[in-house]
């Protein structure tokens, strides 16, 4: 299982719109992807509700994990997405 650590770039954190964009992108990978707030329990990254319940704030550190073929590229792509201000 591979992992990537990144910080949340959206100025209001992972609220509805950024969380939806992230969950949709995670789902499109076809891999089992999880996301966890630094020190917290991982949740299914494809679940909008689960991602929103993390309460990840702007500049908070999160860890992504994925397993399967192409996991490294998937994690790079998702980490880049999260580090972007999706509200801009």
As annotated, the active-site residues are 15
Q: How far apart are alpha carbons 58 and 18 in whole angstroms? A: 11
80: its two tokens? 């880049």
Give yes or no for a contact between 87 and 12, defined as CB atoms under 8 angstroms apart: yes
């Amino acid at each position: 299982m591979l992992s990537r650590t990144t910080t949340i770039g959206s100025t209001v954190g992972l609220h509805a719109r950024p969380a939806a964009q992230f969950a949709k992108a995670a789902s499109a990978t076809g891999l089992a992807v999880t996301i966890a707030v630094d020190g917290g329990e991982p949740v299914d990254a494809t679940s909008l509700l689960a991602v929103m319940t993390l309460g990840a704030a702007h500049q908070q550190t999160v860890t992504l994990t994925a397993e399967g073929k192409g996991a490294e590229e998937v994690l790079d792509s998702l980490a880049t997405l999260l580090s972007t201000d999706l509200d801009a």
